[in-house]
Structure 1
């Protein structure tokens, strides 16, 4: 068994990497995939969410495992989990640190969350360049998209100038995402018929297609 390795990366902190990773992990398990998440972000926010999830759900939900690891052991842990799971999601640290480079190098696809603001768009360039250097395909995901479509379209035009592939599915600026994580859950479990859950489901399907 050789699972797909999906690395969620972004040089800029606060782009929503952990939020996107957690919600995708649950969406993939809901689609009957066995999922492992490797948390190599020093903040360990995803690990804390998983512990909260275990407290609420007991087994944290069938088919989902979160492993916290850092340093030189990251690549070995990612490869090991890929042998036993359909999907391995990697929540990588911000900045161009060694762990981030390892995570990108290991990936089948690099997912880059980006908020539609000039600073966030500019910050995607180093991550895109790293993926290109490692010859790993990447997919930009617009996250926390506000109702102001004109600003989003302006940022889209600039991103396209980088030659990046942009996901059709977008994640809105919705309180539901953070509220669900605060309960150790995901939007698909808390509000399965809500807009946030619908956006995550669409994104998860698009990512699987992009990863081959």
Structure 2
């Protein structure tokens, strides 16, 4: 069966797209030993840098997670190449690059939009979600870097409800293990398997698998 394509998209920079992409890839690869491929079309290349660190630690195969770094205009061709050899392909798309981001959204079976608990992040979701609606592709807001305390999260959730957006039940906290595992080219399920961070990303992986299974 052809791979399910999961695009991580957000017009605002600094929302944590690359961290979500990398952490989700590792969690999916561990859950049932799924074959996972990554595609980095963000010119900044942060996901490629993480994967290079991973290969340096685990070997050239990246611990079973492959990565392709390509320009956005080559995405369709690259996905055609990867689909038959993977269960999931995760695409890390660039912010502020309308053409490339739209191509990544159109190619997706599921779109995840990381949103930090701030109005700026939330407002920036609109262009991504509009394209997703036109393509009739399931899209979910993922609350990311959630602080342990504060009323802002509740305020953002209220705004999400008012905007009639769909949000994942799984949320990712502002937790040190996410960042520290990225520095090592690993995922939090590999470095801190029993941590709250690992529980959160596994919950997101399970939710994404269920959404992808339903399809468009």
125-134 or 43-52, which deviates more: 125-134
Measured in 2, the distance between the counterparts of 1:186 and 1:137 equals 25
Question: Can you list the C-alpha shifts for 1:13-49, whole angstroms capped at 9, x where unaligned?
Answer: 0000000000000011101110010000110100011
1:11 alignment partner in structure 2: 11
CA RMSD of aligned residues (A): 1.2
1:28 alignment partner in structure 2: 28
Question: Can you list the C-alpha shifts for 1:44-88, whole angstroms capped at 9, x where unaligned?
Answer: 100011111111111454431011001321111012211211000
Runs of at least 5 residues in structure 2 that lack an aligned partner in the other structure: none
The alignment of Structure 1 onto Structure 2 pairs a total of residues equal to 212
8 Å Cα contact 1:125-1:162 kept in structure 2: no
Question: Can you list the C-alpha shifts for 1:167-206, whole angstroms capped at 9, x where unaligned?
Answer: 0110000111111100111111111011111100011001
1:39 alignment partner in structure 2: 40
| 3-state secondary structure, aligned to 1:128 | helix
| 3-state secondary structure, aligned to 2:140 | strand
The answer to whether residue 122 in structure 2 is matched with residue 126 in structure 1 is no
Runs of at least 5 residues in structure 1 that lack an aligned partner in the other structure: none
Question: Can you list the C-alpha shifts for 1:70-118, whole angstroms capped at 9, x where unaligned?
Answer: 1321111012211211000000001242111110000001001000111
Measured in 2, the distance between the counterparts of 1:99 and 1:65 equals 21
Return the TM-score normalized by structure 2. Answer: 0.95
Measured in 2, the distance between the counterparts of 1:96 and 1:59 equals 30
Measured in 2, the distance between the counterparts of 1:177 and 1:3 equals 26
8 Å Cα contact 2:72-2:103 kept in structure 1: no
1:175 alignment partner in structure 2: 176
Alignment of 1:24-173 (within 5 A): 24-31=24-31, 32-173=33-174
| 3-state secondary structure, aligned to 1:89 | strand
Return the TM-score normalized by structure 1. Answer: 0.96
Alignment of 1:191-206 (within 5 A): 191-206=192-207
Instruction: Tell me which stretches of 4 or more aligned residues in structure 1 moved more than 6 Å.
Output: none
